[in-house]
Structure 1
């Protein structure tokens, strides 16, 4: 497994690959409402719309075991220094959707080393590189949505930059095994605050997965975590895949728990010293280890090597992004 790629987002310029050390993003001002929504249909690497059985299969078949093994975890810098304080909600605590179990019969032993079968790896092509992040299904009426970091769908900081291509979600990936298959992404959403200005407070994304040939959705297959915006401080669990810095041949699923997470404006951070968990994984509350379901309250955007995992806190604007994605998705 290669070490992660680290990108610095800045508005109006092409993203640059950073070879050494973290670089804090310093986005330029923008006149665009950062809470407004940007979206794109998904494309193959050859710029074909992912909308037919042919293109869906093209995306799925692209990700051979060799390509997945050689893909690079993608991290973006820009996490502020967080101080311990109360969350900064911009509205009342609201449960938007509740966790749901799978509706199809499955064998839990298919993925015996995963804490949550709803969490998996999102593979994609970014600037010509085969890359990956963590991601999670999120409960919705149509059963097709996943949640991840915005930079796992779009480079950020440049409205003219292309969205990532050949995107697939592999839930419960486990040491090279794909117990619940690959699910091609057909549509992507984030905030213009991320896509145009690279604001870390808007580094959030949702994506729509294609249904299987028999109409089964990814949530039918693996269930989904619920969505909670403006959540109060409480015990929080981060679930995701290690960033490949610890000698593993394959990324594996890990968790970090913190009974008193750190909050600052737009940020949630928890102690996570044992392993580097890649961006895109869910921050969960009321996470029941027996049933493996909880409520998403944020999404990981980076993990720093001093032992603190930084994420973007889900406030009221995230409900608008979720609602837009759910309304526009098929079902």
Structure 2
């Protein structure tokens, strides 16, 4: 069951009461033109066959350059306040990070739900092997994984969709303790697909304000990925109460073999960069698509995803905010 709390647009913080199960037909009323969908033709068998141990080891992250600054400010989206609780149930007040505030990309203990729901996302662009990060998020279908849009759609000159998409939750140096899950489809917003560009000089275009994507995963052994592993919560239009950022940085000085984290007791909106969230964090490419969790419980390993890692420079990391557009996309992915 998906538990969602909806509250007045003026309310801030994660709501504590008023949970209900949404009627997706009603929620989808009036939602048009958000979803740019790619149905993946690669079968589960072919994807698993493709990702040999050597290819997994050699996968490299896509570039995560610092923005060139031509698209500043926020998205000016309509206000929204929707919260979907993690599969472990609603979380209470903010729990402090047991390891303290960190900006150094320290190895994470992979406690509780975080070990089963956060992992590495493998894919190919133009026959080349790449890797990002991703997380299972709670949904009615039990099949939704969040990541960054640039991990599914190449914003370079060729402008192509990913292939051979494979998610490995709890990845341990290429080992898959919770299985290898393949994607049936990938979904990004029209704004990103049509308005996000990148080159060796950096990223440009207003589409980078919407660097959020969702995957619809195929079931395995008769179970959805959420039934098998659980799911993180997700919140749209909510002010974060502290942040725990998880991912698998792969570019030096990291090697992608460990889940790592940065954390902060507060978050700021970095208006100079796409109006996104920003925090001091030295995680490198490969962490792209990893969840930014608020109200994170370090014992349960659970929180609410409010963003995913998007762009950075090795000192600062920025994550696209999840607002009305991201919520509409999530609803459409969950419905299909």
Q: 1:99 matched to which residue of 2?
A: 86
Q: Aligned ranges for residues 1-331 of structure 1 at < 5 Å?
A: 36-44=34-42, 55-77=43-65, 79=67, 90-95=78-83, 97-101=84-88, 113-115=109-111, 116-117=114-115, 118-156=117-155, 161-198=159-196, 199-212=207-220, 214-246=221-253, 248=255, 250-263=256-269, 264=271, 266-273=275-282, 278-305=287-314, 307-328=315-336
Q: Using the TM superposition, give the Cα deviation of residue 231 of structure 1 relative to its aligned residue in structure 2, in angstroms.
A: 1.2
* Uncovered stretches (5+) of structure 2, i.e. residues with no partner: 1-31, 90-107, 197-206
Deviations 1:264-289 (A, max 9, x none): 35401112137666210011001111
Q: Does the aligned pair in 1 maintain the 2:65–2:313 contact within 8 Å?
A: no
SS in 2 for 1:58: helix
Query: How many Å separate the matches in 2 of 1:285 and 1:233?
Result: 5
Q: Does the aligned pair in 2 maintain the 1:94–1:229 contact within 8 Å?
A: yes
Query: How many Å separate the matches in 1 of 2:212 and 2:68?
Result: 16
Q: Using the TM superposition, give the Cα deviation of residue 72 of structure 1 relative to its aligned residue in structure 2, in angstroms.
A: 0.6
Q: 1:113 to 1:324 in 2, by over 3 A?
A: same
TM-score if structure 2 supplies the norm length?
0.73
Q: Using the TM superposition, give the Cα deviation of residue 90 of structure 1 relative to its aligned residue in structure 2, in angstroms.
A: 3.2
Q: Using the TM superposition, give the Cα deviation of residue 92 of structure 1 relative to its aligned residue in structure 2, in angstroms.
A: 3.7
Q: Does the aligned pair in 1 maintain the 2:307–2:322 contact within 8 Å?
A: yes
Runs of 4+ residues deviating >3 angstroms? 76-81, 85-90, 273-277
Query: How many Å separate the matches in 1 of 2:150 and 2:227?
Result: 27
Query: How many Å separate the matches in 2 of 1:87 and 1:288?
Result: 30
Q: Does the aligned pair in 2 maintain the 1:90–1:230 contact within 8 Å?
A: no
Q: Using the TM superposition, give the Cα deviation of residue 114 of structure 1 relative to its aligned residue in structure 2, in angstroms.
A: 2.6
Q: Using the TM superposition, give the Cα deviation of residue 78 of structure 1 relative to its aligned residue in structure 2, in angstroms.
A: 5.3
Query: How many Å separate the matches in 1 of 2:263 and 2:331?
Result: 29
Instruction: Tell me which moved more, 63-72 or 214-223.
Output: 214-223
Aligned length: 269
SS in 1 for 2:327: helix
Q: 1:113 to 1:173 in 2, by over 3 A?
A: farther
Deviations 1:50-88 (A, max 9, x none): xxxxx211111211111000001113435477xxx9997
Q: Using the TM superposition, give the Cα deviation of residue 244 of structure 1 relative to its aligned residue in structure 2, in angstroms.
A: 2.8
Q: 1:258 to 1:35 in 2, by over 3 A?
A: farther
Query: How many Å separate the matches in 1 of 2:283 and 2:331?
Result: 36
SS in 2 for 1:74: coil
SS in 2 for 1:196: helix
SS in 2 for 1:193: helix
Q: 1:130 to 1:275 in 2, by over 3 A?
A: closer
Q: Does the aligned pair in 2 maintain the 1:201–1:312 contact within 8 Å?
A: yes
